């Protein structure tokens, strides 16, 4: 049996200590006491530090740190490598168990995001037990079987997106092959590859986007059947919901016909809610008249909405802000491929200001609504006060004119570099900008210039307000 004894200083001036080294751990004999430590108890292999009075040996368990001083000077040279080897032999079993569990999880079910997080939570503390000490240890070169397993640990600790994708695709391919017959026969026509993948993919949350008539119901039937056949879920764990009773009945019929079971049923959201309330409260609730008469519901909503607007000033402010900024879903001019496509989008969505004008850009929409909600009268694309028509140019129509303030506003769709949307001729656009500036200069009319760059940076309206206030004009939002 190998052991470490005290240095000469420890024998005469310290507390004589003997540390016995066994395959299962360390036995420390000090002051007529025996203290046993299993290798599995130690978080990392024991560490040596040289001092004037001898070697210092330190290690820690989950509960406590231990330090033994004044040990023989040659103890590190004689025992460091064996400590690391014995600790590794005992603790590699933990790694084996963890890797086996991970392999089982990643090959028997679709790899969910929550599973990845759970795996990394288990792997991280295990990696801390082995690194960084292993990098400078002789074990890293002599024990290839151990280092190979630890490479897998670090792989999972820093699991890259491509690795996750490969793992998921491997699982999907195996399931497609294994349940090919089921997917071929579960509906009247074999499911498409996209439908089969939608049945198999089982992340924590799954969103299936599909248009009308593209086979969403087939996917729901196929997915329910796949989960049952693969024993990933029981019938009690499957809930199928539809908005309308007709769709729910159709799913019920197809599940009963195709899956040959009546244990999985589809229901509507309303029906489910009523059932839950009845089970909890012991009686079925009565439905509101609003649930059965759409006209009465609309009338009530309109009446209550108008009452809130009249009675609640804070609500009025919120309503104005909502309809001014958030009523339409904004699309950047850069999202379109052509000017025609942009015009088509604005026409199809009938984008209008609070005053009711059709507006040609979202920035102009926000400008118009800001002016309206601050009580500033404006005219959108009204003729310029001076006739500047020529044979080749129609009458100039600035974006906005504020008649009470005698101020024009032009919005230019250019960024900080002066660039326009790709489908706009940059050179012609800048010529037009310069012509407008020259025109206002010639007739000494006041024109505020706003740009796409300000809009993109969220400074469009604050710049508009600042520019108006610089002209000694007070603005205040309507309430």
DSSP per-residue letters across 227-295: HHHTTSS-GGG--EEESSHHHHHHHHHHHHHHS--SSS-EEEHHHHHHHHHHHHHSSPPPPPGGGT-HH
Scan for tokens 């004009």, then name that residue. 473
Q: Are 409 and 450 in contact (CB under 8 A)?
A: yes
pTM of the model as a whole: 0.60
Residue 265: per-residue pLDDT:
84
Q: Which domains does the chain have, with CATH numbers?
A: 2-73 (2.30.29), 87-167 (no CATH), 179-207+214-281 (3.40.50.300), 294-325 (no CATH), 331-469 (3.40.960.10)
Phi/psi of residue 419, each to 5°? Answer: -80, 145
Residue 479: per-residue pLDDT:
64
Instruction: With a cut of 50, list the residues of the chain below it in pLDDT.
Output: none
Please state, in angstroms and rounded to a whole number, the distance separating the CA atoms of residues 367 and 362: 9
Secondary structure percentages of the chain, helix, strand, coil, to 5 = 55, 15, 35
Q: Are 72 and 5 in contact (CB under 8 A)?
A: yes
Length of the chain, in residues: 479
Q: Are 436 and 398 in contact (CB under 8 A)?
A: yes
How large a percentage of the chain has pLDDT more than 70? 99
Residue 124: per-residue pLDDT:
96
Burial (CB count within 10 angstroms: exposed 0-12, middle 13-18, buried 19+), residue 372? middle
Residue 291: per-residue pLDDT:
77
């Amino acid at each position: 049996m190998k052991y470490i004894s005290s240095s000469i200083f420890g024998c005469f001036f310290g507390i004589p200590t003997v540390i016995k080294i066994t395959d299962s751990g360390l036995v420390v004999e000090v002051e007529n006491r025996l203290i046993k430590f299993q290798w599995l108890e130690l978080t990392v292999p024991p560490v040596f530090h040289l001092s004037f009075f001898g070697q210092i040996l330190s290690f820690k368990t989950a509960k406590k740190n231990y330090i033994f001083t004044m040990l023989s000077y040659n103890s590190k040279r004689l025992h460091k490598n064996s400590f690391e080897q014995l600790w590794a032999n005992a603790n590699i079993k933990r790694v084996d168990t963890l890797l086996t569990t991970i392999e089982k999880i990643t090959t028997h079910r679709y790899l969910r995001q929550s599973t990845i997080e759970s795996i990394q939570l288990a792997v991280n503390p295990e990696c801390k037990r082995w690194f960084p000490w292993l990098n400078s240890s002789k074990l890293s070169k002599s024990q290839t079987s151990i280092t190979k397993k630890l490479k897998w640990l670090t792989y999972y600790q820093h699991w890259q997106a491509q690795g996750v994708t490969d793992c998921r695709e491997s699982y999907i391919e195996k399931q497609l092959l294994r349940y090919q017959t089921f997917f071929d026969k579960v509906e009247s026509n074999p499911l498409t590859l996209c439908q089969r993948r939608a049945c198999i993919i089982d992340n924590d949350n799954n969103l299936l986007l599909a248009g009308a008539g593209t086979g969403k119901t087939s996917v729901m039937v196929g997915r329910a059947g796949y989960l049952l056949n693969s024993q990933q879920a029981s019938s009690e764990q499957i809930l199928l919901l539809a908005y309308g009773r007709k769709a729910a009945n159709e799913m019920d019929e197809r599940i009963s016909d195709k899956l040959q079971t009546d244990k999985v049923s589809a229901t509507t959201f309303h029906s489910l809610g009523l059932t839950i309330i009845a089970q909890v409260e012991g009686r079925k609730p009565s439905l509101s008249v609003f649930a059965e008469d759409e006209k009465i519901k609309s009338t009530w909503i309109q009446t209550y909405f108008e009452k809130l607007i009249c009675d609640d000033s804070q609500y009025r402010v919120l309503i104005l802000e909502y309809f001014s900024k958030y009523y339409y879903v904004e699309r950047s001019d850069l999202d379109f491929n052509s000017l025609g496509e942009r015009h088509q989008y604005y026409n199809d969505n009938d984008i209008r200001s609070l005053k009711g004008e059709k507006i040609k850009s979202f920035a102009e929409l926000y400008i118009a609504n800001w002016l309206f909600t601050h009580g500033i009268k404006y005219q959108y694309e009204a003729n310029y006060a001076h006739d500047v028509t020529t044979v080749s140019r129609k009458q100039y129509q600035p974006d906005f004119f504020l008649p009470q303030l005698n101020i024009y506003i032009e919005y230019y769709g250019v960024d900080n570099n002066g660039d326009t949307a790709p489908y706009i001729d940059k050179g012609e656009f800048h010529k037009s900008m310069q012509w407008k500036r020259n025109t206002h200069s010639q007739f000494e009319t006041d024109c505020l210039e706003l740009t796409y760059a300000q809009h993109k940076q969220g400074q469009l309206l604050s710049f508009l307000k600042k520019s108006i206030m610089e002209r000694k004009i007070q603005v205040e939002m309507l309430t």
